Structure 1
């Protein structure tokens, strides 16, 4: 049998766990959506959760930003959360584990930078407001380079991010994840097994096609015992700057984030409007809160920041 901590709480009794020698090979594995990944052996590597714990000994809080759906604004939410925490004088690091679609370097205003390696490991890139950022973007020879890797190599890269980066002393490490519930997510959870994850912020947009994927992410968190801080509904409405008419660009046909949060009994942290300022700010590496401090979207991000701080306080 594998490590019992690897096994989801609702898995059948015969589940050996994803890092076991029998992972994906037993009769009880037939029909499991992760059978192929488990049996490939890609999750069983030299990854050491204790090594991660030792490397991150100076990191007080770890928060994941998740969504089963792509294009809902996870990276923007990650960036604004990090900036909000830094504005409260917390020391913050941001890790982009979207290996094949990294975007945080541009959103954080450090695109084109490179990392340096010393005896203490890789040094993260620092933004003007002193936020430590690590992304595969810094390791590519060109912004146009495509990362075409299988799971094992992506998992190895994530291990390097956690074990070989000199994060130093941080109040918060915010981890921006790719869409879905696949190998990168399982690698992160496995690596953090001995190093507490405080919680996850889930991001959605109002339409049912996004909500259905976020439900899977909620299930993922519950199976792997990741506390859910709450739900952020992004792009909830659009208000015309000229006529002030409010429109639902992504209609909430099944009730949107509010209905999902109520049904799943998780907090709806905030509903953020669809604002062209967000796109312009992200392209130019600027903070939305700084560009429009008196706005509904900045107020929403302040609420998010306060909720994360409150959730991570020692109980």
Structure 2
């Protein structure tokens, strides 16, 4: 739906966390293009650890706390207002910082709509001591892209001095794919039926951790071109039949005026004969027309 103004609002336990508002400034098809002015606001308590992704409106929380557990509400405002509730459960860990790499798959099967964008949603945890680590995505066992972190702190927001993030994609994905650095999710734009299949994500930080997601792409329903054409064809045949009937009547009246009055029985007999001849001719004409439409 092409909206001029719309907004995405997030709440936690009834209190607003923040919002993103989109205002159309030029024509286009995706939020990544410069056709929307985006204004974003995050409340002070979430300012340094929260973001609302412009690509799909998801809420991204950094440095989770046990107090972040609870009910979240997202509200979409456009031509209509719709809301959705989600529950977040934050678990604690005993014995200090984890030393392993952890990968979480949000859903093993994702559904996307043809020509739209889709997010293969994951989250990760790298050991706190990691300074070089990477996220790699494969499709049908072939690598399509990677996101490598060099001299970065795994627990930070990757804005420290010297932190370098390198993203690489193969040519066919370069202009329509992204790896969200904050959680490792793969974002695909303008998907097609060819994108359906098995994806593998791989985390590397000394050790290798992998996971798999299946993408199913839903196709737009076929149009009703055949039915519409059929209705038009019926209308054409009906119009031709009506013209033939009117033509028959005109010919009968014209013949009567030229030949002059006759006895009633002669008029009826002559008119019926001529009408019958013309009707046979028109039926043959109609059959030819119908046959031509089916060619």
TM superposition score category, shorter chain reference: under 0.3
Larger helix percent: 1
TM-score normalised over the length of structure 1: 0.23
TM-score normalised over the length of structure 2: 0.24
Larger Rg: 2
